[in-house]
Amino acid sequence: MTKVACIGECMIELKQANGGLFSRGYGGDTLNTAVYLSRLGCGVDYITALGDDGLSDEMIAGWAAEGVGTTRVVRLRGKLPGLYLIETDASGERRFFHWRDSAAARSLMELPETDDILNSLAGYDVVYLSAITLSLYGEQGRARLFTALKAARSRGARFAFDTNFRARGWPDLDIARAVFEEAFEAADIVLASTEDLLPLYPGESHDALLARIPGGEVVLKLAEPASILRLDGVSHRTRAEPVKSPVVDTTAAGDSFAAAYVAARLAGADPLDAAQAGHRLAGVVVCHSGAIIPRAAMPPDMISTTSRKASP
């Protein structure tokens, strides 16, 4: 079975419920992608650090129930996971509030287990992480991770980078730009969006944003329901099908797009078809509240209906 390693952070999620109350779940961008990858038939491990508390136990059990591997999750005594709260407006747009500065996941690159975890990356077909992942670690931690990614790629693994950008996670935009450039140089697949890149590169055109990314396989999701794919220097535009149900929460739209895209590519789909799969799943996810939709709401035959024209 194809194996994907997703690296990042999962947090306790509080989302709006009726009567001014909040319901509790869990989520995090790369964890959301890992769950959707598993549901789409990919073997996937989640790589992170958690505490030794009951909420962390609950997360581990929930991931295992979704088929996400947890053998690379480090448990830290006395630590806790981070927490975030989602507010959504009438159009489904979300606003996040975070409590995560001392979360266990931030220690992942400085533990006794770190070398074993980083050496294991070469055993995966794809290593997937986001800009939020990179914002968790300091300069030395990111350097260790990039060195491991380069070593894994030399042994056949592919690195997929999602540009998911949250300004509050970075001490300085110049630091963020430098890290993005390093990730762009290292990645085999870049899953970008104008929403992520324009805060870093204000006013730039689609072509200018794409020119910043040297890789041969780049997806740039646009503000409208469409994306531009650049494949070996040639750009292609693809539009999403209209969303037929009301949009209630855009949380995890990009995470689910990434999962469907990567899963389709690993199944042998052409990148244009993979982008359509990404748009399709994201179009379903935004019609449900929270990061992870009910399993019964997953579109049927997401990957099997995708044409198989190209090797990943």
- The answer as to whether 262 is a domain residue is yes
The confidence score (pLDDT) of residue 159 equals 98
What is the C-alpha to C-alpha distance for residues 94 and 188, in angstroms, rounded to an integer? 30
- The answer as to whether 193 is a domain residue is yes
- The answer as to whether 310 is a domain residue is no
What is the C-alpha to C-alpha distance for residues 161 and 163, in angstroms, rounded to an integer? 6
- The answer as to whether 312 is a domain residue is no
- The answer as to whether 305 is a domain residue is no
User: What does the pLDDT look like over 232-272, one tens digit per residue?
Assistant: 999 999 999 888 889 887 889 999 999 999 999 999 999 99
Pairing of strands 3-7, 73-76: unpaired
User: What does the pLDDT look like over 76-127, one tens digit per residue?
Assistant: 999 999 998 877 777 766 777 889 889 999 999 999 999 999 999 999 999 9
- The answer as to whether 207 is a domain residue is yes
The confidence score (pLDDT) of residue 171 equals 94
What is the C-alpha to C-alpha distance for residues 3 and 1, in angstroms, rounded to an integer? 6
What is the C-alpha to C-alpha distance for residues 277 and 219, in angstroms, rounded to an integer? 13
Q: Taken in order 280, 228, 238, 287, is the CA torsion positive or negative? A: positive
pLDDT of 305 above 60: no
- Span 176-188, average pLDDT: 98
Q: Do residues 89 and 137 make contact, with C-beta atoms less than 8 angstroms apart?
A: no
- Span 39-51, average pLDDT: 97
Burial of 217 (0-12, 13-18, 19+ CB in 10 A): buried
- The answer as to whether 112 is a domain residue is yes
**Cα distances (angstroms) measured from residue 91 to each of 94, 199, 240, 247, 281:** 9, 22, 19, 7, 19
Beta-bridge partners for 46: 6
Residue 150 is part of which domain span? 3-297
**HSE on the CB side for 57, CA within 13 Å?**
4
What is the C-alpha to C-alpha distance for residues 163 and 194, in angstroms, rounded to an integer? 10
- Span 30-47, average pLDDT: 97
User: What does the pLDDT look like over 271-302, one tens digit per residue?
Assistant: 999 999 999 999 999 999 878 899 999 998 88
Beta-bridge partners for 14: 24, 85
DSSP H stretches of helix in the chain:
29-39, 54-65, 114-120, 131-136, 139-154, 173-186, 194-197, 206-211, 253-266, 271-285
The confidence score (pLDDT) of residue 1 equals 55
What is the C-alpha to C-alpha distance for residues 234 and 207, in angstroms, rounded to an integer? 11
The confidence score (pLDDT) of residue 311 equals 38
CATH number at residue 235: 3.40.1190.20
Burial of 65 (0-12, 13-18, 19+ CB in 10 A): exposed
Strand order in the sheet with 83-88: 22-27, 11-16, 83-88, 94-99
How many domains does one find in the chain? 1
Pairing of strands 73-76, 83-88: unpaired
Task: Give me the active site residues, please.
Answer: 255
DSSP calls for 194-228: HHHHTTTSTT--HHHHHHT--SSEEEEE-SSSEEE
The confidence score (pLDDT) of residue 16 equals 76
- The answer as to whether 63 is a domain residue is yes
- Backbone dihedral region for residue 235 (phi beyond 0: left; psi -120 to 50: alpha; all else: beta): beta
Q: How many Cβ atoms sit within 10 Å of the Cβ of residue 60?
A: 17
Express as a percent the part of the chain with pLDDT over 90: 79
